[in-house]
Structure 1
Amino acid sequence: MAEFRTQIPAHAIERCTASIIFNPSVPDKAFERIVAQSASQLMSSGFRSTGPSVGLSVDVVTGRVIHSAEGAPKLYIGPDGQTQVTVMPNLIALSTPQYVRWAHFHNLIEKILRPLCDAYNNIVSINAVKLEYWDRFLWTGSWSDFDVDQLLDVSSGVISQKAMQAEREWHSHCGWFEFLGPSKRLVNVNADVVEVRENGVTPLPSIGIYTMMQDQVFTPEHQANFEAVSASKKFDELHVGLKNLFASLILKSYATRIGLLGEKKNA
């Protein structure tokens, strides 16, 4: 009987990204100093520079990455050839497809992003902290017997029931704000049903689920209270929030299988 499975038994995570966004952007000269300092620190940890790319910036309200005339991001690739650090005038980010468990990724955040964050925070303020997950489930059958109801919990209310009725590929994108004292939290849940080729050969129906939470300053008057909680603690809170959110999107049997419920601690 066909079923959904993940590429590794422990979890369904394809990629995880942690970002810290600042407002305003650091001035050009200060950014050059930070880049020089970060390059030395990162290279001592086995990262290598991939060279500059086109100029980009991050909109502090929407989180969108937009083109700009200045501030080309500096990109660094880790010893595994896949973990990436991005350094921009108003953003630093750590991204990896080599997710093991939260404690390991959080340790990487502390080792890689925290020194960078301290350098920025001496000049500008933290405006937002964002955590993103990309998960994927592969269907072992074909489109003829593909059944999203064997994975997704329609009672979650955040995945379009109309989209779930489609015969093959479909997309459901949902987002909202939650207001939490000095911060407001942007939440995104995107579900995408597409065909993928496992090992580049076998075509399989799949469900990709993107979840994101971003805590940002509610108003300028809340800046001091927002920064009273460290970015490290904010990441822990976002992780718990995303874990609970993701567990609500899928059936309990699958949530247990990938460690979101029960005794497994890999999520």
Structure 2
Amino acid sequence: MTGQWVPWHEAHSIEAVGVSVAFSESVNETLWRRMLRTAEEVAPAAGLTNVVSPSALHISFGGPNPVARNEEHRNLVHFQRIAVDIDGGNQALGNIAEELIVGRDSIQYISYQYSRWVPFLQQMTLFFGELLGKALVGVRPQNVRIEYRDRFVFDGEKSEALPSDLLRESSAYIASHAFSRKDLWHSHTGFFCDASGADRRLIQIMIDVADLLIADEAKRSIGILTVVQDNLGVGFLSEEVVDDPSAASQLVVSRFQELHDAAHSLFAQIVNDQTASRVGMDVGRRSSHA
């Protein structure tokens, strides 16, 4: 065999990382305006200067001729940083590098130029700490979630792209039939488990084989989506914390370190030892996660 599986970036395989906090209900108008004002201050200061608010199509039938118009749909606002340079991987110029998505019922932060866990955590803490301080005055956190999207591309003939050269054949999280298939396939699984401090934890692992067009050539690729979500009960915030939005915010944000560690452990059980070494996990931690 002349080809091999190559991670999406030179140093790691992470295509994107996303974190989110979902609320028990939508915030009221007063809290929503406070959240938006806060996001309009902290996001541009951190380089997320492109603001997108999805439009809603409204059709008026009040006159003889129906009139369609777009009106700003202010229930969800995206604050984005656009890529202005190439990071050594497959990030294209003009694409979204990172974005903060502020909604009435949740907040999300996604990085498409992820490098290491610590700077990602610092950026997320900056955004979430400020926004949760406003939202948790009137709502409680329902769940916290982290998603890692990894991708590998085979640099040889598609007929030689064996899943066993990348994935762990003994993994309980991969359908066994996948290792005998030569064509495209999917392996999706999920389950609930116990987690300290949470009502229950949801685990989802989705592995998809697809052919991507790279430099005008179809390349076999394997994408791995690892999801860890903690569903938080009413008792997650103690009586001492529930009346202190700042303390409640810090408690929620601190939960992401545990989710990150769980996602890292799952990924190590999906890829084989050779792949783990290739992306810096041979010493027990993925280098880009440290």
Q: TM-score interval w.r.t. the shorter chain?
A: 0.7 to 0.9
| Contact 2:79/2:99, CA 8 A, preserved across alignment | yes
Counterpart in 2 of 1:9?
10
Counterpart in 2 of 1:36?
37
| Contact 2:280/2:286, CA 8 A, preserved across alignment | yes
Tell me which moved more, 13-22 or 227-236: 227-236
Q: 4+ runs of 1 displaced by more than 6 Å? A: 225-229
| Contact 2:100/2:109, CA 8 A, preserved across alignment | yes
Unaligned runs of 5+ in 2: 57-72, 84-95, 243-247
Counterpart in 1 of 2:79?
76
What amino acid does structure 2 have at the position aligned with 1:115?
E
Whole-angstrom distance in 2 between the partners of 1:95 and 1:113? 12
Gap change, CA 1:104 and 1:221, over 3 Å in 2: closer
Give the total of aligned pairs: 251
Tell me which moved more, 222-231 or 239-248: 222-231
What is the CA distance between 1:78 and its match in structure 2?
A: 2.1
What amino acid does structure 1 have at the position aligned with 2:219?
L
Matches within 5 A, 1:36-55: 36-53=37-54
Larger-gyration structure (1/2): 2
Gap change, CA 1:240 and 1:181, over 3 Å in 2: closer
| Contact 1:54/1:72, CA 8 A, preserved across alignment | no
What is the CA distance between 1:87 and its match in structure 2?
A: 0.2
| Contact 1:19/1:92, CA 8 A, preserved across alignment | yes
Whole-angstrom distance in 1 between the partners of 2:76 and 2:147? 19
1:230 aligns with 2:245: no
- TM-score normalised to the size of structure 1? 0.86
What amino acid does structure 1 have at the position aligned with 2:214?
E
Whole-angstrom distance in 2 between the partners of 1:222 and 1:110? 19
What amino acid does structure 2 have at the position aligned with 1:194?
A
Counterpart in 1 of 2:65?
none
% identity of equivalent residues: 24
Whole-angstrom distance in 2 between the partners of 1:7 and 1:163? 21
Whole-angstrom distance in 1 between the partners of 2:132 and 2:280? 31
| Contact 1:164/1:170, CA 8 A, preserved across alignment | no
| Contact 2:34/2:134, CA 8 A, preserved across alignment | no
Counterpart in 1 of 2:276?
255
What is the CA distance between 1:115 and its match in structure 2?
A: 0.7
Q: Deviations over 1:100-134 (max 9, x none)?
A: 11011111111222111111112211111111011
Counterpart in 2 of 1:136?
151
| Contact 2:212/2:219, CA 8 A, preserved across alignment | yes
Matches within 5 A, 1:169-208: 169-183=184-198, 184-199=200-215, 201-208=216-223
Whole-angstrom distance in 1 between the partners of 2:82 and 2:53? 19
Gap change, CA 1:148 and 1:103, over 3 Å in 2: same
Counterpart in 2 of 1:65?
none
Whole-angstrom distance in 2 between the partners of 1:240 and 1:182? 15
What is the CA distance between 1:43 and its match in structure 2?
A: 2.0
Unaligned runs of 5+ in 1: 56-69
Q: Deviations over 1:183-216 (max 9, x none)?
A: 11111100000001224x2211011000010111
Q: Deviations over 1:205-257 (max 9, x none)?
A: 0110000101111x435553998782232111111111111011011111122
Gap change, CA 1:94 and 1:222, over 3 Å in 2: closer
Q: Secondary structure at the match of 2:158?
A: coil
What amino acid does structure 2 have at the position aligned with 1:246?
F
RMSD: 2.2
| Contact 2:264/2:286, CA 8 A, preserved across alignment | no
Whole-angstrom distance in 1 between the partners of 2:168 and 2:286? 21
Q: Secondary structure at the match of 1:211?
A: strand
Counterpart in 2 of 1:157?
172
